[in-house]
Amino acid sequence: MPALKSLLLIGLPMALAASPAVMRRGPTSNFSLYAYGDGIGGAQVFTTGDGAFVGSASSSNSTEAAPVLFDVGTDNALLGSPNATETTPSWSNLTFNVPDTTSSGHQVSFSNSTTNSTTGRSASGFVFYGQYLFHQNTGGNLQSMWYALPSDQDGVWTLNWNSTGDDTDGQVIVTLRAVAPSTDASSDTTS
């Protein structure tokens, strides 16, 4: 009986740790996403209404560039609206999506939520583990295949998803988190 008691005492903390009631949840209200990686210390996700970028939206050459304020939609889709105070871009209510294995491109993008006909892209299945963003594939596996590539604008990287083994030079593996950096890392221009 003492062995059974010891087994129960050892197994109970593991069961509690795996319990959904005890696990830390992702954001429960509107949130921004930030990329963390080598030389990218919490650069904010922004868009120009199409492609996804990380860095300072004000460094972009586009007047449509603005940080994104996300909300979770149906089927764990992420819906984005501009989080802009100085300018108001023409885009709003966009759906965040990643390329799937049939896509020839790698850049993460946004599409119009009302006409979401994105072939070769996945616009649902985004899951938070704590404050880290993952994508759940059709097999149920959580994946984090985010990477950034320097753009031709200082302080701006394209946000990409590596579902097909892309080996482009200059890749910076990043994690996406719903936690802002403790300092303004979006001005970090190390590429």
113-144 pLDDT, tens digit each: 544 455 788 899 999 999 999 999 888 889 99
Bridge partner residues of 67 (DSSP): 46
pTM of the model: 0.80
Domain boundaries, the chain: 29-187
What is the rounded distance in angstroms from the CA atom of residue 187 to the CA atom of residue 189? Answer: 6
Q: Looking at this protein, which amino acid is placed at residue 135?
A: H
52-98 pLDDT, tens digit each: 999 999 999 999 999 999 999 999 999 999 997 777 899 999 999 99
Which fold is adopted by the domain 29-187?
Trefoil (Acidic Fibroblast Growth Factor, subunit A) (2.80.10)
Q: Nearest-5° angle of CA 34, CA 57, CA 145?
A: 35
